[in-house]
Amino acid sequence: MTDLLSLLPPGSDVDGGVLRISGCRVDDLAREFGTPAIVVAEPALRARAREYREEAAKRWPRARVVFASKSFPATAVQRVMVEEGLGLDVAGGGELRSAVKAGIDPALLVLHGNAKSTDEIEYAVQAGAGLVVVDNADDVDRLEAAVPLGSTQGVLVRVVPGIESSTHPHVATGQIGSKFGLTPPAAKALIERIERSPRLSMQGVHAHVGSQILDPSELAAAVEPLAAMGQFPVYDLGGGLGARYTYDEHPPAVADYLDALLGAARAHLPAEAEIIIEPGRSMVNAAAATLYTVTTVKRDARNFVAVDGGMGDNLEVALFGQRYEAALAARMDEEPAEDAVIVGRHCESGDVLIDGIRLPAAKVGDLLVVPATGAYTHTMANNYNGYRRPPVVFANEGQARAVVRRETWEDLFARDV
């Protein structure tokens, strides 16, 4: 139990064998909000945002922390980041609009994407987005058409730094051949074009090595290739720091990550430049856990414990084999008694949440908690098999509130014509 608490949102504890997240008993949460439910410890979320902002400021006077909204693009999560003094990185029209709804100062918006539509670029310009990260020449064409004469739009050019990272290929983005960004020669040519444009303001360059990277030196390695592009007011070093999912993983602390990244910046970049970092997964993952109900226990060729969710609310396992841990959330004081495979309710053999774990003997109706689900679960939830996407519940010192409600059956058919 002690080990699992180290993976659960900071501030979690156990009351009479029942898990509490930020003072809220999970059995009470299940009765009020149903399962599955993504439960976020709001104090932990806020503390992590402050940690990033304060630690970055200690190391670089003009550091700007911009939350990578794609990791958890709920409006309420974006609003927390805004309230804690962070900017927002958005990818696409939906994240852009929710950022505006969350109250972001448009000057602190950074728009990403390798295939931005004309509508998205026009909305970003109209909203006053501070920076648009240009991924290709078509972005420049659309921006020049969208920006009114007499106005200018700040842009960054995304550069492929040529870094082969140790992460899964599905979330690696810094290698030559990535669909994102431009090789240095192509980027230099586009920079020259932007510098001649009366409607665009060339602010700097951007690079991103990948996601779930546990070695900060791989992230810091992107700094020198950006420095080689020239001197600019802004250098966006991206995000990518990995999060802890299992007992065996030990990502670097935020301070150690920033020491490596901003140490490289001190060695290669102008001291007066603004440095942007874009944490996502490492910002939100530890602050949340997903609560399920056991619906079936099948002890046969294997011991299958099936829950009322699965790949409809967590695609990380199916996409790149992410490993998770789990516990029976209302039986936290019991010792493991058997091996189990935690599976979901969807009609796919790949709908496996945890392929092998020790648990007390599970029974129908048990609550199961999976820690470390703050990143890329809500954002990639889907309606496979008519699944209704789960709520997001904020827990805060014994009080709980839904910030995203569970989908209804009516929601499933709202787009029918």
pLDDT for residue 224: 92
Find out whether 336 and 4 touch, Cβ atoms under 8 Å: no
> CA-CA distance, 258 to 277, in Å (whole number)?
9
Do residues 272 and 293 both lie within one domain? no
Question: Is pLDDT above 90 for 353?
Answer: yes
So which residues are the catalytic ones?
347
Q: Which residues contact 141 (CB under 8 A, 6 or more apart)?
A: none
Among 258, 279, 300, the domain boundary falls at: 279
- Domain-located, residue 306: yes
Predicted confidence at residue 165, as pLDDT, reads 54
Domain residues for the domain of 362 are 2-41+285-412
- Domain-located, residue 96: no
Q: What is the CATH number of the domain that holds 23?
A: 2.40.37.10
Domain count for the chain, please give it: 2
Q: What is the pTM of this model?
A: 0.95
Asked if the model's pLDDT at residue 217 lies above 90, the reply is no
The reply to whether 144 and 19 lie within a common domain is no
Q: What is the pLDDT of residues 303-319, one digit of tens each?
A: 999 999 999 999 999 98
Q: In this structure, is residue 134 part of a structural domain?
A: yes
Query: pLDDT tens digits, residue range 238-275?
Result: 988 999 999 999 999 999 999 999 999 999 999 999 99
Half-sphere exposure of 359 (CA within 13 A, CB side): 27
Which sign, positive or negative, has the C-alpha torsion 403, 407, 412, 416? negative
Confidence class for position 68, pLDDT limits 50, 70, 90: very high
Tell me the CATH number at 119.
Answer: 3.20.20.10
Q: Are 131 and 143 in contact (CB under 8 A)?
A: no
Report CA 21 to chain centroid distance, whole Å.
20
Predicted local confidence at residue 406, as pLDDT: 98
Last residue of a domain, one of 234, 259, 279: 279
3-state class of 354 per DSSP?
Answer: strand
**Displacement of CA 147 from its chain's centroid (Å):** 30
Instruction: Please write the tens of the pLDDT for every residue from 143-193.
Output: 999 999 999 999 999 999 866 655 545 554 656 667 778 999 999 999 999
Q: Are 236 and 204 in contact (CB under 8 A)?
A: yes
